[in-house]
């Protein structure tokens, strides 16, 4: 158990368009979901933490109007990159913490490769 999926796995879009990435916990309820961004040859950078039914908490330096996060249910969180530009091209990974699990348990999705032309 504890599978997290992301959709799409890859997306290529034109500059100025918006892109939505979905993160789903397939077999458990996720009270908290995390969104990370990974640059080539670099570590994961936490972008935001979202709790079901409440507003996301963004890390310093992350534009909340640029990266819209919605956690509408216990199994789904979405990240929308608004008015995407080439510098937004990156690998976006979500993770989910299972309801009732230990605080250090996160299950990661397979990631979404975003390319903005």
Partner 1 sequence: GDSVTQMEGPVTLSEEACLTINCTYTATGYPSLFWYVQYPGEGLQLLLKATKADDKGSNKGFEATYRKETTSFHLEKGSVQVSDSAVYFCALTLNSGYSTLTFGKGTMLLVSP
Site residues for partner 1 per CB under 8 A: 4, 6, 32, 34, 41-44, 46, 49, 93, 95, 97, 103-104, 106, 108-111
Three-state SS letters, 23-67 = EEECCCCEEEEEEEEECCCCCEEEEEEEECCCCCEECCCCCCCCE
Nearer Cβ to partner 1, position 17 or 57? Answer: 57
Nearer to partner 1, 64 or 85 (CB): 64
Closest separation between CB of residue 16 and partner 1, Å?
27
CB of 5 to partner 1, least distance (A): 10
In the complex with partner 1, the residue whose CB is nearer, 75 or 95, is: 95
Taking the complex as a whole, how short is the minimal distance between the CB of residue 2 and partner 1, in angstroms?
Answer: 10
Q: Which of 101, 84, 92 is nearest to 35 (CA)?
A: 92
Residue 33's Cβ-side half-sphere holds a number of Cα atoms within 13 Å equal to 31
Helix (H, G, I), strand (E, B) or coil at 86: helix
Token pair for 94: 């979500």
Q: Which of 14, 103 has the CB closer to partner 1?
A: 103
């Amino acid at each position: 158990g504890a599978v997290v999926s992301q959709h799409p796995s890859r997306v290529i879009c034109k500059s100025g368009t918006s892109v939505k990435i979905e993160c789903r916990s397939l077999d458990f309820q996720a009270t908290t979901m995390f969104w990370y961004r990974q640059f080539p040859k670099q570590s994961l950078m936490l972008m935001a933490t979202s709790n079901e039914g409440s507003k996301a908490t963004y890390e310093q330096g992350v534009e909340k109007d640029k990266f819209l996060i919605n956690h509408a249910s216990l199994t789904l969180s979405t990240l929308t990159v608004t008015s995407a530009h080439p510098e937004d091209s990156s690998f976006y990974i979500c993770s989910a913490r299972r309801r009732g699990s230990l605080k250090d348990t996160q299950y990661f999705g397979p990631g979404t490769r975003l390319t903005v032309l």
